[in-house]
């Protein structure tokens, strides 16, 4: 931590006043990610002990910025101590934005548009910036070659299939792996492959996407990255939207001299499969082997993607043993148990005005909490806040300065946490948490946002947030 403080002070000529760790046990990379801030200046600090991987990220970042791509500026670095500072793009990942802007299969236009922007930028990384990239800094491999693919397939075999108790003929499976690998390597692979192009590695700042975590990038095929995004397990994109985004991507490839539609699609679904296998291997290693159960919550979504592929896609090559393993996975009671665990508790959080009546329980189950925020200081009484809401920075700062607000939230979270824990243990699927104030514009909105933020990312919880009075202003 001291090395990050030193880098921050050297770059910004002031010591950090606030230090906030950003990645807890949910992280799988081993990096320590820390926000350091002083006044209006903020930066993200990274501590990680693999020098070659750090060097790849720093070199790629500078290269992509020279091409005008939206990646972080590198403020300072100390490779000897495994530390660097980068630009801070805030807290909203594409995955979090998607989660906030969907009701099951129904995804709001704002989230669809965010995905369209992301898809449109991808060919610039792969083709435009990939042409003159220094691939000698890639780590651990310079290309997605036979060795890279073998690592991923064996990861899946040993850490997922074996630990999930799925039986298979090892030699026959190896024969299928060899056939799949040979087919994948026959695709045009003279492009930059981002390697982990998925919704948690993309930040949204003022509606625009910014990109992180490409340090594992290497030379490879175009199909892999768009497969990673569209079949990102917990993002759970509906098939129709996946197809629309794939069509947009193929159209954009034409603007950069990429391959044609038929040539692209010939290999696409084989790359979808190998990406899903890589992800399942990671879930198995972290979940079954390291016993970090939250990683297993992504397994049912990956199985859902496999089920769709088996019913809708025919590969140009035969992989009978691998397909048999997939069918065994889909029939596995052990894996079906994971699917039932992923049947999340939906917590509906609502802000409202008492003047317009109490909120209606949309789940039909009744119950839940209604908290009265009118005892807290009211920003609406001050002229400077009247046109703002509880989502605006000035209002947030004002309420965060009130000691009573923190006591109120602490009490709320104690009650809500207890109910969430109990509901999950008892298999309940709906909980409603509502916040009322005078106008439904400032305090209730702020409180709802804060509780939603704290519950998002919690294992087995889906948060649905609404601000009733901001959607339907009083006449």
The number of domains in the chain is 3
* Predicted pLDDT at 365: 57
Per-residue confidence band for 426, with pLDDT thresholds at 50, 70 and 90:
confident
pLDDT of residue 422: 85
Domain boundary among 87, 114, 133: 87
User: What pLDDT score was predicted for residue 297?
Assistant: 81
User: Does one domain contain both 17 and 114?
Assistant: no
SS (HEC) of 310-354? HHHCCCCCCCHHHHHHHHHHHHCHHHHHHHHHCCCEEEEEEEEEH
pLDDT tens digits for 114-127?
Answer: 999 999 999 999 99
Split at pLDDT 50, 70, 90, the class of 205 is: very high
At 295, the pLDDT band (50, 70, 90 cuts) reads confident
User: For residue 473, what pLDDT is reported?
Assistant: 46
pLDDT digits (tens, 9 = 90+) for 167-193: 999 999 999 999 999 999 999 999 999
Cα–Cα dist 467/440, whole Å = 8
Q: Hey, what are 292's tokens?
A: 């970090």
Instruction: State the residue for tokens 């709906």.
Output: 430
Quick one: 283 and 432 in the same domain? no
Same domain for 331 and 371, yes or no, is no
Q: What is the mean pLDDT of residues 276-303?
A: 90
pLDDT band for position 345 (cuts 50, 70, 90) = confident
**Average pLDDT of span 333-346:** 73
- pLDDT reading at 10 higher than 90: yes
Does the pLDDT of residue 475 top 60, yes or no?
A: no
Give counts: helices (H), strands (E), the chain: 16, 15
Residues 321, 351 share a domain: no
DSSP state of 188: -
pLDDT at 441: 95
Do 263 and 281 belong to one domain?
yes
Burial of 472 (0-12, 13-18, 19+ CB in 10 A): exposed
Between 217 and 297, residue with greater pLDDT = 217
pLDDT reported for residue 474 = 41
Does the pLDDT of residue 363 top 70, yes or no? Answer: no
- How confident is the model over 197-210, as a mean pLDDT? 96
Residue 43 CA to residue 35 CA, distance in Å, equals: 6
pLDDT the model gives residue 293: 72
Question: Which of these three, 305, 340, 375, is where a domain ends?
Answer: 340
Segment 281-303 mean pLDDT? 89
Least confident interval from 65-74, 393-402, 466-475: 466-475
* Structure confidence at residue 103 as a pLDDT band (50, 70, 90): confident
Cα 276 to Cα 290: distance, rounded to the nearest angstrom:
20
* Separation of alpha carbons 320 and 64, rounded Å: 41
Taking the CA atoms of 239, 244, 247 and 252 in sequence, report the sign of the dihedral they define.
negative
pLDDT of residue 64: 98
Q: Using CA atoms, how far apart are residues 255 and 257, in angstroms rounded to an integer?
A: 6
My answer on whether 140 and 12 are in the same domain is: no
Whether the predicted pLDDT of 358 surpasses 90: no
pLDDT above 60 (res 284): yes
Q: Which residues pair with 202 in a beta bridge?
A: 211
Residue 100: which pLDDT band, with cuts at 50, 70 and 90?
A: confident
Quote the percentage of the chain above a pLDDT of 90.
80
Region 20-46: what's the mean pLDDT?
81
The CATH number assigned to the domain holding 209 equals: 3.90.1200.10
Range of the domain at 111: 94-340
Whether 322 has a pLDDT exceeding 70, the answer reads yes
What's the whole-number mean pLDDT along residues 461-469? 88
* Least confident window among 146-160, 393-407, 449-463: 449-463
Question: Average pLDDT, stretch 44-60?
Answer: 96
Give mean pLDDT, residues 397-404. 93
Residue 81 sits in the same domain as residue 104: no
Average pLDDT score over the chain: 92
What's the pLDDT at 123?
Answer: 97
Give the per-residue pLDDT at 368. 87
pLDDT tens-place string over residues 251-264: 999 999 879 999 99
Do 252 and 141 reside in the same domain of the chain? yes
Q: Is the peptide bond before 53 cis (omega within 30 degrees of 0)?
A: no
Scan for tokens 């409180």, then name that residue: 447
Same domain for 113 and 238, yes or no, is: yes
Q: State the CATH number of the domain containing residue 36.
A: 3.30.200.20
Same domain, 453 and 400: yes
Residue 453, number of CB atoms within 10 A of its CB: 14
Residue 370 burial (C-beta neighbours within 10 Å; 0-12, 13-18, 19+): middle
Q: Which residue among 315, 340, 365 closes a domain?
A: 340
Predicted local confidence at residue 302, as pLDDT: 95
Q: Are residues 155 and 263 in the same domain?
A: yes
> Distance between the two ends of the chain, CA-based, in angstroms?
53
pLDDT the model gives residue 222 = 98
335 lies in the same domain as 228: yes
pLDDT of residue 257: 84
What pLDDT, on a 0 to 100 scale, did the predictor assign at position 27? 52
Mean pLDDT of all residues in 205-230: 97
């Amino acid at each position: 931590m001291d090395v990050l403080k030193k880098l921050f002070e050297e770059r910004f000529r002031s010591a950090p006043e606030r230090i906030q760790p950003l990645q807890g046990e949910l992280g799988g990379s081993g990096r320590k990610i820390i926000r350091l801030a002083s006044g209006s200046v903020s930066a993200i600090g990274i501590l990680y002990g693999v020098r070659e991987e750090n060097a790849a990220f720093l070199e790629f970042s500078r290269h992509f910025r020279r091409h005008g791509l939206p990646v972080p500026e590198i403020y300072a670095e100390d490779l000897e101590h495994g530390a660097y500072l980068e630009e801070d793009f805030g807290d909203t990942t594409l995955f979090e934005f998607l989660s906030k802007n969907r009701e099951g299969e129904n995804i709001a236009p704002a989230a669809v548009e965010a995905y369209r922007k992301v898809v449109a930028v991808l060919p610039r990384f792969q083709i435009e910036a990939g042409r003159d990239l220094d691939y000698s800094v890639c780590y651990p491999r310079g290309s997605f070659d036979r060795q890279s693919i073998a690592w991923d397939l064996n990861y899946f075999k040993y850490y997922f299939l074996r630990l999930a108790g799925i039986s298979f003929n090892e030699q026959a499976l190896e024969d299928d792996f060899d056939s799949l690998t040979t087919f994948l390597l026959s695709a045009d692979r003279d492009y930059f492959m981002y390697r982990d192009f998925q919704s948690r590695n993309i930040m949204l700042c003022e509606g625009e996407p910014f990109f992180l975590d490409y340090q594992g990038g290497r030379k490879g095929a175009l199909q892999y990255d768009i497969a990673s995004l569209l079949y990102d397990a917990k993002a759970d994109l509906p098939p129709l939207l996946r197809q629309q985004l794939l069509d947009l991507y193929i159209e954009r490839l034409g603007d950069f001299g990429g391959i044609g539609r038929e040539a692209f699609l010939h290999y696409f679904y084989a790359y979808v499969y190998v990406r899903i296998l890589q992800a399942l291997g990671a879930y198995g290693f972290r979940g079954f082997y390291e016993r970090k159960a939250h990683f297993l919550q992504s397994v049912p979504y990956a199985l859902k993607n496999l089920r769709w592929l088996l019913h809708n896609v025919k590969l140009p090559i035969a992989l009978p043993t691998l397909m048999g393993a997939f069918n065994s996975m889909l029939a596995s009671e052990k894996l079906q148990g994971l699917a039932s665990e992923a049947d999340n508790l939906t917590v509906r959080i609502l802000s409202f005005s008492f003047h317009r009546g109490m909120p209606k329980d949309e789940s039909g189950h009744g119950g839940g909490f209604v908290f009265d925020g009118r005892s807290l200081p009211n920003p609406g009484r001050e002229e400077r806040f009247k046109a703002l809401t509880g989502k605006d920075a000035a209002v947030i700062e004002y309420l965060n300065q009130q000691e009573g607000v923190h006591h109120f939230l602490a009490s709320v979270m104690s009650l809500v946490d207890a109910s969430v824990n109990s509901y999950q243990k008892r298999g309940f699927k709906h909980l409603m948490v509502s916040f009322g104030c005078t106008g439904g514009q400032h305090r209730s909105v702020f409180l709802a946002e804060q509780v939603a933020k704290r519950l998002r990312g919690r294992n087995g919880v889906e948060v649905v947030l609404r601000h009733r009075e901001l959607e339907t202003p009083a006449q």
